[in-house]
Structure 1
Amino acid sequence: MGDRLTAASKAGDVTALYELIEEDADFLRRVEEIMFVHTPLHIAASDGQTCFAMEMINLMPSFSRKLNKSGFSPMHLALLNGHSKLLLLFLRADCDLVRVKGRGGMTSLHYACTKHGNDDVLANFLVACPKSIEDLTAQGETALHIAVKSNNLGALEVLVRWLRRVCHVEAFNWEINIPNWKDENGHTILDIAVSNNMQLEASSLLYVLKLLAEINAKTSDSLTVSDILRRRQSNLGRNRVLRTQCGTTDPEQNASTLASYLRSKLSFDERLAVYITRHKMKISDDVRNILLVVAGFITASTLQIVVNDPGGFQRDVGDSGNNNSEATPVPSQSHLSDRAAMTVFLLSSLYNNTAFCIVNGVIGLLLPDGLFGMILIRLLPVSILCYVLWIQRSLPNGLVIYNLLVFLLAYVFVFLAFVTYSRGQNKLRQLQSNTNNIACSYRKRKTEAAEGQANSATSADLDP
């Protein structure tokens, strides 16, 4: 049966597989009980037999995590043999397969960073399973260590720019710790890059240093890229590292693949969207509710200040018989002098208008996504309109222009910040959409598997 199973796996013959199951329904379980074994899934993954491999994952999901005697999982073999389509199907079946460690503690993500890897596959690994960036080899090396050691500039670009773009609750920690992680020899990625300077052309080395400077990489002695260049090169060399564009992808070009998008430089709107989104992800629901209550209280306070301005100014309607008389600012009965009252009024107006606009912007950011959040965001301009009407109604004509000018400047600032944030979010959706598609497929398969087990258990209970 072993030869027939091997032949069926190599040929991708699903019919032959079920014929073997009819002859011996328990033979796959016996294969599973072996600690290290070259399963039919390993064979299919090596030969790129997609349909057979997916059928085997449906029948025996545990095979996808088994190692053969050489220390490779099926995903390792599919990657090393260049079967990219099969790798994506593995991700949809179980995105955590990226983290299965094989020989030397190497995961599929680590192999994707070597010369055997593929930038598009690497990008999909990172998007499907962001926490795989934390995995270390048996030598304590990260994926960045392997990319630098292998002189794989494409993989290094993808890793560095993904680290700067990823929106995850641990993203801030990753961006600080991973670039400066030390392997078992105490070497950081910048140490390795500097030690590899004889294996790279000058332009390539400068570009590697430029990439590492983006994530604030340091040596084991806490030296930065600038410190190294200051020691080893002239000022001309330090300027070149900031200008070199070796191997970069123009951010304005149409990124046809996920990897080409990740290799592109971050624009300002992306950096703003990443920064805000990361902070939003760290806010719990309870904290979010508290912040919304406080923001609502501040908004109500700013409206109250408009009605009862601290400067003590009121609209002078002039003589009761003359409705066309111009309104002028007249100080009410106050202990403050006219100059002091005007100073207090101008400062309070500046603070009040700025606070109102910023708080409304914060409310817009804190509101949850979805239908109800969208409805509430659409209603925010109504409160802004009411605020403007209160300014026009409650203040003297001579001060309305000043208040409206301050309000307009604050509103334009917040509006432009919102537009910039929205543009950045639209660009980052390329990552989120891929993540959601793979995650939804994975959850669907998990649900189907759980339902199948429940139905099997029910059937077993009903059998006499």
Structure 2
Amino acid sequence: MDRRLYDAAVLGNKISLLNLLREDALLLDRFITGRYPETPLHVASMLGHLEFVDEVLARKPELAKEVDSRNSSPLHLASAKGYLQVAKSLLQVNPDMCLVSDIDGRNPLHIAAMKGHLGLLRELVQARPWAARVLMEQGETILHACVRCNQLEALKLLVERVSDHEFVNCKNGDGNTILHLAIAAKQTEAINLLISSTAIDVNCVNEDGFTALDLLSQNQRDATDKEIVESLRRMGVTHATDHPLSDSQLKAIRTKILLSTWDQHQPNALPKPKKRKHGKRLVSSNKNGDWLERKRNTLMLVASLLAAMAFQAGVNPPSGVWQDNDQSEESNHRAGLSVLADNYPFVYTFFLICNTTGFLASLSIILLLISGLPLRLRFFMWVLMVVMWVAITAMALAYMGCLVAVTPDHSYSSLIKILGCATLVWIGLMLVLLLGHTIRLIFRLIKCLFKLAMRLVKLISGPHAL
């Protein structure tokens, strides 16, 4: 942006703008035909210079739909600062900008609600009511944003204007409704508003299996908890869990609900509590998925390297290929064929079998990993690891064949000693791994049989106990 035009927008100097337009009539058109980090209308809207905004809109109303580097329109900036009159001018030109989302997935209505600019929010809702139903990132509604930012008046306004059963009971990416968020934050007024003036499902459960009442302390030591529990009880709220939760569990659950999806720029910075249900620890599906993903990536990398090695050894066999044709009785060979195949047929056959086995095993792993099959179970990943075991062993044997082929006769004794020691070490390592996996499998089998026996005992003793 030209420095003089930028200064005029910052100061809201309408006279300077007119002087610049006399010098260059196409000055504002360039912001429409090109891509700029921001326009003069963005700067003036952010600072609330109404006369400057009106002058720009009168000359180039198309600038109202231009977005900056964060995909924010001038209406986004005016909504964030709460400039009602500027927002009205922008709405008269292009009310559809209410539907445009910025880089964080928020439209002007979301921003106005989170900032608590009620008058501006009312104008935006009146201009485009369905813009309030647009979901933000992670599936959150504008009602979720009001509860997170503790904007009770904005929540009241939206409940009166755009709420219905489906919208009020909408869940975010973690399966939490606005009632879950309000109770986790202990917002008593918001809770009373939701249960008395909306069609909120008070017994709705989130993805962890908790209702709103489960998020409150069972012993009700806190006066706020008592008040909330009494309000919920009057609405017929029940517990979803069979066992009461400890204070530490409740704190972890509330923290998870309040922090999830809040920092959209740094999602990995938020701790994710471990899931608990019926007082027992459950393995997180995310943790299992991460384990499988790491295994898949490792197998793909190793399989690709082994396949490349095997292909290279196959097309360039040990000892090379003949460079000429010789049809004599002493040496009958043709150019391009393997020297090892003519001089040591048995060694070449051994090398060919091992190298081909390793190559095909590696290709099989790659094919299975890119096939799109649902290889999400640990059993399938273990199968792939066994195939990888075969591929690595085959490549090791092919390497031994290569050494035998290229080693001269006077060094065979040293080679045999080295290969013998290496073979013993390799066999020992394989036996240790096999023993470890076998013991692990036996323990798992015993555990499964024990659980099955306990179930059978309960089933057999059940009728007698009655």
Which TM-score tier does this pair reach, normalised by the shorter chain? 0.3 to 0.5
Q: Which of 1 and 2 has higher RCO (CA within 8 Å, sep 6+)?
A: 1
Instruction: Please identify the structure whose Cα radius of gyration is greater.
Output: 2
TM-score (norm 2): 0.43
TM-score (norm 1): 0.43
